[in-house]
């Protein structure tokens, strides 16, 4: 393939666009990529539990996910039902180190609030900021919830990436 491309170059055919070279560089397997990986291990039991929760989401989770998925909020990515330590966080934005928890009616007893506080402490120890909303808030005040999340993302994200343009704008 390289030979035919080089012969095209000698014939005066246009050069490839930036990033679309004729090859011959270092293969991706030959380069070391230093990707940041979580420093915690996720057990297979916790991972399968997260999958099960993802499949059986509440109405409030489905509504909020419809607003957060596909980089719809400020162009940042969110994941849902993400294992962190021994817990499964409802929504996580890794770019802003933000965790969003939705609480149903079972979270409003004294014991549940203590468990939620301990859970938030563990998650915050991993460098995340935790926002908590009740399912009722999501159902009745979706715009307010999204504004609060957007403000937290802006405050915590290092830089927001602009969405890619799909085509050229015509004047």
pLDDT score of 73? 94
What is the model's pLDDT at position 14? 55
The two structure tokens encoding residue 2:
């390289």
**Given this model, what pLDDT does residue 32 score?**
39
Q: In whole numbers, what is the pLDDT of the chain averaged over residues?
A: 78
Name residue 84's beta-bridge partners: 87
Q: pTM of the entire structure?
A: 0.67
129: exposed, middle or buried (Cβ count in 10 Å: 0-12, 13-18, 19+):
middle
Which domains are present in the chain? 56-156 (3.40.960.10)
The helix (run of H) or strand (run of E) holding residue 133 is: strand 129-134
Pick 137 or 111 by higher pLDDT: 137
| DSSP at 108 | G
**pLDDT of 52:** 81
Band (142; pLDDT cuts 50, 70, 90): very high
Please check the confidence at residue 123 and state whether its pLDDT lies above 50.
yes
Residue among 69, 89, 72 at smallest CA distance from 81:
89
pLDDT at residue number 47: 82
The whole-number average pLDDT for the span 83-112 is 87
Q: For 30-88, how does the pLDDT look when each residue is reduced to its tens digit (9 = 90+)?
A: 433 344 455 557 778 878 878 888 888 899 999 999 999 999 999 999 999 999 988 99
pLDDT band at 8 (very low <50, low <70, confident <90, very high): very low
What stretch of H or E contains 6?
helix 2-10
């Amino acid at each position: 393939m390289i030979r035919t491309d080089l012969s095209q170059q000698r014939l005066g055919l246009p050069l490839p666009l930036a990033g679309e070279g004729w090859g011959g560089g270092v293969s991706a397997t030959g380069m070391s990529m230093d990707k940041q990986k979580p420093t915690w291990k996720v057990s297979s039991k916790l991972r399968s539990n997260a999958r099960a929760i993802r499949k059986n989401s509440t109405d409030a989770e489905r509504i909020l996910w419809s607003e957060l998925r596909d980089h719809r909020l400020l162009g940042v990515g969110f994941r849902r039902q993400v294992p962190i330590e021994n817990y499964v966080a409802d929504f996580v934005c890794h770019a802003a180190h933000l965790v969003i928890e939705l609480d149903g009616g079972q979270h409003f007893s004294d014991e549940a609030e203590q468990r939620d506080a301990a859970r938030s402490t563990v998650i915050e120890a991993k460098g995340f900021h935790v926002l908590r909303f009740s399912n009722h808030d999501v159902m009745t005040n979706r715009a307010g919830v999204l504004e609060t999340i957007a403000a937290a993302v802006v405050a915590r994200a290092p830089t927001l990436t602009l969405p890619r343009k799909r085509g050229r704008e015509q004047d």
